[in-house]
Structure formats: C-alpha cells, structure tokens
Amino acid sequence: MNRSRVFSGMRPTGQLHLGHLAGALTNWVKLQEDHDCFYGIVDWHALMSNYDDSEETRKLCMDVLLDWLSVGLSPEKSCIFIQSHVPQHAELFLALSMITPLGWLYRNPTYKEQIVNIRNKDLSTFAFLGYPVLMAADILLYRAEKVPVGEDQSAHMELSRELVRRFNHFFGEGLLPEPQTLLTPTPKVPGTDGRKMSKSYKNSLYISESAESMWEKLRTMITDPSREKRRDPGDPGKCPVWDIHKVFNPDESERAEIDNGCRTAGIGCIDCKKMLNTHIAEMMEPIHERRARYEKDAGLLNDILVEGARRAEAVARATMRDIYPSMGLLARADRVS
C-alpha cells in the first residue's frame, strides 16, 4: 500500500485548546488512517520567539505530547517526535539557507506583521527571520507531499515551494518534491470573551480542562450582548456560544430548537449553555480517560519519543544522504552511506 506522506508540526507554546482541536487535531487524527504521517513538536520554532524562557519549552513539549496522545494521535499509526531530537532538521535548515534570498524573508507577510505587532520580545534575530526556512526543512526532510495547515500558514507554504524549486534548480531537478498545502478549514471557535480563542487572551477552553472548570467558563461566557434579560429575544448570529455550538454540537435538530428558542426568548442563555456543555463533556470524556492513562506512565511517554525520533531520523538521514553529494560536499570516507 502506497500511502502519501504527511508532515505537520506545532510549536510547544502552551496547553492546546478547543480551537486547536477543531482547526487541526481532529483532521490530523483522521489523516493517520490512510496516510504516512509525521507529526513534530517543533521546539526549535518555539525557541525562535521564546529563547528567553528555555525552561518553559522543555515542559511545554511534554504538555503538547499529552494533548496529542489524548485526542487520539497514535504512536502506532503516526511518527510522533520532537524536532530537536532529529538533528537533520538543523542540517537541512543550514543547507536551504545557502540558497534563500534575504528578500524573500523580509517580504514574508507573517514576518512583517509579527515584527511590528509582537512588542514584548526582541525578535530582530537571524533565526526569527529564517523561521520559514526551518519550516521548509521540517517538511522536505520527510519528502512530505501534503502539509495540513490553516490559512495563516499559506505564505510560509508558498515560500517552502519556492525554496524547493530554487534548490532543485541549483542541485538537481527532482531532488526534493514540492509539498502541497492541505488547507484545513478552520471553523470559528471564539473564546469566552467572544474574541478568537488564544492563550494570550486568557479566554481559552483547554482540551485538558476538567468538566467542572469547563462548565464554569461556559456558564459565565458572554452571549449576544443585546439579550440582557431572560425575556429579551436574542440573535444567535451575534453570540459566541452559538459559534461553539455550530462546531461541537452534532445534534442538528437540537441546534434548530436552540436557534429558534433564542430568537423567540423561548429558552434562556443558561439552558443553551447547558446543552453545549453536555456535548463538550461527552466528547471530552474519552480524551480525558486517555490522558489519565498516559499521564501516569512517564516511561511510556519517553519510549514514544525515543521510538518516534528513531523512525524520523532514519527517513531524515536518507534524505540528507541524497543532498550532500548533490550540493558538492565531500562524503566522509568512513561512511558507506
């Protein structure tokens, strides 16, 4: 069976929330059924913006691993590993940097946006400018054909493809394949304050959140602001709780009832939130059970990471073996391959 190769990665910068679940992880879990998936916890990428807190990164890698395993990413089906455990990521990053024009990096819209908007950190570093080059290396090291990412990564993906064309032009046509973006539809998952769910807004519903804490957040979440009293009719189109219903409530007829009940003041916001809470709790139950099992087995978590790195490195080494001579580097004489 010839499954196509998939690569994707996440930076270990915090606990994962329902936005990550709906926008990426659910799709990653599906992909592992019929693709050859590589999923990397990209810790070098996290250091590019959080180099002043390296202790955090170590801990956050394990948090992301637990979140991934709990939602059903399987170390039997996918290769799950930590980027820095496979040194070839850094090697290919260096190799690609030989042919990366600085103009491409300075013109990258994500870079331009972040350098003005992220004011609390000094991001005027060589590495931060080169962020998309390391991302290209992640993908190309595994000759991944498909990369599931959200719209916000499109510019980086385009740069990866341009780098492949330039690399092949210099060092050999067909040496590296051009990766395709598998654009994941990112459903709107607002946070408790109605803004986009994000760790930095402190408005997130976390995957690892207990049922009690989840309900407390939902219960106090903002709704349609014009619905002040129970008898005021509401507009679901202006309610962030309704946006979450659309993503996490699979019961269509119940959703129709809520929509109608809100517009006619037939139900109150608490009734609506209770129904949402029931669906989320049901979905989270197996996730939390799986988490509890992994959480108490540090040995197993380490085995998963060691085995993941071993498998990833075998593929990565083979890619580098093709690249070195093509770039004109002299092979080390004591290495047959």
d(CA 124, CA 122): 6
Give the rounded distance of the alpha carbon of 117 from its chain centre.
21
Give 173-178 contacts, CB < 8 A, sequence gap 24+: 175/322, 175/323, 175/326, 176/140, 176/143, 176/323, 177/140, 177/143, 177/145
Binding ligand TRP (rule: CB under 6 A), the pick from 43, 67, 138, 209 is 138
Q: Would strands 79-82 and 180-183 be described as parallel, antiparallel, or unpaired?
A: unpaired
Of 255 and 311, which has the nearer Cβ to ligand TRP?
311
Q: Out of 21, 47, 139, 141, which residue is the one contacting ligand TRP (CB under 6 A)?
A: 139
Residue 42 binds to ligand TRP (criterion: CB under 6 A) = yes
Shortest approach of ligand TRP to residue 330 CB, angstroms? 30
User: How many residues does this entry show for the chain?
Assistant: 337
Least Å distance, CB 7 to ligand TRP, is 5
In whole angstroms, give the CA distance from residue 52 to residue 14. Answer: 15
Burial of residue 194 (CB within 10 Å: 0-12, 13-18, 19+) is middle
- Residue 218 CB neighbours (<10 A): 20
Q: Which of 6, 41, 65, 135 binds ligand TRP (CB under 6 A)?
A: 135
Shortest CB 160 distance to ligand TRP, Å: 8
Check residue 128 for interaction with ligand TRP (CB under 6 A). no
Residue 248 · residue 280 · CB < 8 Å: yes
Quick one: which H or E segment has residue 148? strand 146-149
8: contact with ligand TRP by CB under 6 A = yes
Q: Minimal distance in Å, beta carbon 40 to ligand TRP? A: 7
Residue 146 DSSP symbol: E
Residue 291 lies near ligand TRP (rule: CB under 6 A): no
Q: Which is nearer to ligand TRP, 139 or 175 (CB)?
A: 139
CB nearer to ligand TRP: pick between 10 and 22: 10
Comparing CB distances to ligand TRP, the nearer of 9 and 236 is 9
Nearest residue (CB) to ligand TRP, 11 versus 217 = 11
Q: Compute CA 222 distance to the chain's CA centroid, rounded to the nearest angstrom.
A: 27
Q: Give the residue with the Cβ less far from ligand TRP, 42 or 309.
A: 42
By CB under 6 A, what part of segment 144-183 binds ligand TRP? Answer: 147, 149, 153, 156
Give the up-direction half-sphere exposure of residue 149: CA atoms within 13 A in the CB hemisphere. 21
For binding to ligand TRP (CB under 6 A), which residues are involved?
7-11, 42, 45, 135, 138-139, 147, 149, 153, 156
